[in-house]
Structures are given as structure tokens and as C-alpha cells.
Amino acid sequence: MLIHVPPDVDVLAMDVHKNTISTALLEPGSHRPVIDKISTDDESIRRLIGRFETPGRVWACYEAGPTGYELSRTLRRTGMRCEVIAPSLIPARPGDRIKTDRRDASRMALLFRAGQLSAVRVPTVAEEAVRDLCRARADMVIDQTRARHRLGKFLLRHGRVWRDGTNWTLKHDAWIATQRFEDPALTATFGHYRATLAAREAAVTAIDADLATWFTKAPFADPVARLAAYRGITPLGALTLASEVCDWRRFPTAAMFMGFCGLVPSEHSSGERTQRGGITHAGNTHLRTQLVESAWAYKARPATGATLTKRHQGLDPAVVARAWTAQTRLCGKFGRLDARKTNRKTVVTAIARELAGFVWAEMTAA
């Protein structure tokens, strides 16, 4: 959403880094920002705020990045308006090959004054905390998968091949426990790999327990219950979606939400030529990953098993009806696309895109 700045306020643009902040102050009626550079420590931030007699007449902005939202919250507590800008939507000038912090801050101030910058939503402290916990779990699952791969490749290198079903089941784990090596170094290596995997699995189990407490707590209880009514979206997946989006109504249409997830096709068309490619992969990676994982559940026929039936208990019948409509449509579409496409990943991506539309419609329903 583009931010329209009143012409009678001071504009403060900041290029924020770990240790320094380059500032550009653009006063009303001026076209040449005043550039400065400060430290990121608390005292320097207080001095920056103290320069303005009326913080409420200052509109500040900086790019979203690794420094997070704390600076925005600090400035807002003083009454200053502070927007966090989406970096990927900042207009770029063709041919500009010079990039410095001072130039970035100055250009951002001019673009902000001109109403050409789009802001991202700043989550509350509680929303951000749960979102970080969900992201921590995703990181731990990756670590667990890597530990499994290392152990599996080690066994494969030494001729220990599992051929009795799916990997990482209880039966497979029991088979791994029976493996023995004569060489002491191999025995030690095998022990270290198994110990690492056990630690990773314990970490995932522990963080799952921490996340489960938020399924029924505000502000996530209602979104989790409604999203988990949809096939393929577990309560944990629902919490991930809810914590990443928070305010679903900031997307006016389903197509905009799909674009935010990076699930829309890329396109480069000009004149009479129309060329579309794969999905953009822009926007929120965590949302896209969760939706793609959920989309795999629609490869089977429409059905309501015991688990889904239990989740539907106590929900508004309208929510259950919408979830069933989504399931019948997506299962049918999965089957039709799967019969025509050679790459199933393409099918799953298409289902994930449409699932994104269904969950947006659910969370914006009156």
C-alpha cells in the first residue's frame, strides 16, 4: 500500500544498519534533504528524537531488513509516524550504478515525500514473538532433516541399505539401532551421527509443545480454529499462517495475497508477445512453504476423516461449508491437472495458489 505523506510535515528517511543509521531530513517545501549519520545506540536515538520539538509532525521511514521493527516501535512511542518500507517495491532508476548509504537515505526521503513507497505492516510484540517461534521450528526441522540425511548417507557409503519400507519410521529406527561396525572409528562416527539426530528430534518435539500452547490463546485461537478446518492445514500450519499474516484485510483481493506469497506466475510481455514463466517466489517464503506443504493433501479424493471431523466440532457451520467447498474443488482440480501435467510439483504449486485464495476468503469473511 502506497503511503501518501502530507506536504506540511517533516520527512525523516533512514538507511539503517547494525551499527550506523544514515538519516535524510526533508523539510516542507524543500527538495534537498539534510544528510547526517548517527550510531544505533539508545543515546543516539534519543538525541535524534530530541531534535524535533513536535515529533507528531514528523513522518519517518526505513527499509524492512535484519534490524527488525524495534526502531519503528521506539519512534512511534514518541508520537512520531514511522513506516517500514518494503524494499522490493522501491522504484529503481535504470542506469544508476552508484549506491551509498547517504544516497539511499536521500532518495528514500524524496520518494517518501512523493508518495511512491509502499509500507509493510509492523506486527505487535506478541505477534512477532509467536511468528519467531514458528520460524525457529522451521529452522529446527531443517536441522533435523540434515541430520537424517547425514546419517543415511553414512550408512549408504558403508553398504547399509534399508529396503523394507519408508525411511524414518519406527521400523526404520529399530533397524538403525541394530547396525554395528568393527572399526572403532566407524563406531564412533555412527554414534555421533545418531546422537546429533536424537538431539535434533528432541528439539523439534520440545518446540512443538511450546507452540501447541498458542493454538487456543488470543489473538490466534480463532484464526487457528478456522484455518485448521481446511484439509492439509494442521493447527501448527494454521498458527504459522496466522502469525505470518496477522492482518488479512490489508490484502484487498485474493490475487494480492497470492502475489504476497509468491505463488503467481512471472510474466514478461511486450507488444504482441506474451511470455509467462514460473512463479515469482517473491514475498513471504514461510507462507509459500506452508501452503505448498498443505496442497499435497489434496491429491486424494474428498473426504472428512476422524481428525478433520474433530477439528470441525464447535465451528460455525459456514466455516465447515467453506472448507468442504475448497476441498471438493481442489481435489478435483488436482486430479485433472495431474492427468495432464508431467511434473507433479507444477500441479501442487497451482493447488497451493488456489488454496491461498480460499484461506484469504475465509479469514476476510464477515
Digit-by-digit pLDDT tens for the chain (366 residues) are 789 999 999 999 999 999 999 999 999 999 999 999 999 999 999 999 999 999 999 999 999 999 999 999 999 999 999 999 999 889 988 888 888 999 999 999 999 999 999 999 999 999 999 999 999 999 999 999 999 999 999 999 999 999 999 999 999 999 999 999 999 999 999 999 999 999 999 999 999 999 999 999 999 999 999 999 999 999 999 999 999 999 999 999 999 999 999 999 887 777 777 777 889 888 899 999 999 999 999 999 999 999 999 999 999 999 999 999 999 999 999 999 999 999 999 999 999 999 999 999 999 996
Alpha-carbon distance of 326 to 243, in angstroms, equals 22
Taking the C-alpha atoms of 110, 115, 121 and 124 in order, what is their torsion angle to the nearest 10 degrees? 70
Q: Which three-class secondary structure state does DSSP give residue 202?
A: helix
pTM of the model: 0.90
Radius of gyration of the chain (CA): 25
Alpha-carbon distance of 355 to 288, in angstroms, equals 11
> Domain extents for the chain?
10-120, 125-212, 221-363
Q: Which three-class secondary structure state does DSSP give residue 209?
A: helix
Contact 261, 288 (CB under 8 A): yes
Which fold does the domain 10-120 belong to in CATH? Answer: Nucleotidyltransferase; domain 5 (3.30.420)
**Which pLDDT belongs to residue 48?**
96
**Which pLDDT belongs to residue 83?**
97
**Which pLDDT belongs to residue 271?**
79
Helices (H), the chain: 42-50, 70-77, 101-113, 125-157, 170-177, 184-212, 221-227, 235-245, 254-260, 285-295, 306-312, 317-340, 344-363
Alpha-carbon distance of 243 to 123, in angstroms, equals 9
